[in-house]
Structure 1
């Protein structure tokens, strides 16, 4: 299981928000990412950054996945 710093999480989230042109950037914050979800964040970031573009439905799914990264802090 990966362990990320808040700065690393924030950088990944900022990268994805910029690439996706997320209007509601407050959908997730670096301190709300559950430590148990760090591996999921890494995988989602890699997917978003390597894809050249996204359909509306893909963007909706990605934003939903970002929302699912929230959880209890451990």
Structure 2
């Protein structure tokens, strides 16, 4: 799946790369308007969690609005995926 990045550049999210992880984490934070964005950084995740991150990204990307409980659940899932 390809998504446009700022500036019209294409991101090939089918590839497990550090750049794609950073792109998805930034997109998730921006869409959810997470106040504690510093607590969710791309460097907290690695390639072994790529498919789980991509699933969360696709869920967030597919919706326009989120309830507070949905945001809490998504942030909680991201917290579980963080590197130990």
TM range (shorter): 0.7 to 0.9
**With CA pairs under 8 Å and 6+ residues apart, which has the higher RCO, 1 or 2?**
1
Which consecutive unaligned segments of at least 5 residues does structure 1 have? none
Other structure's SS at 1:54 match: coil
Q: Scaled by the length of structure 1, what TM-score is found?
A: 0.84
2:10 aligned with 1:7: no
Shift of 1:3: 6.1
1:12/1:45 contact within 8 Å kept: yes
Structure exhibiting the larger radius of gyration computed from Cα positions = 2
Q: Scaled by the length of structure 2, what TM-score is found?
A: 0.75
Which consecutive unaligned segments of at least 5 residues does structure 2 have? 1-13
Q: Which has the higher strand share?
A: 2
Shift of 1:32: 1.4
Which consecutive aligned stretches of 4+ in structure 1 deviate over 2 angstroms post-superposition?
none
2:35 aligned with 1:52: no
Q: Which has the higher helix share?
A: 1
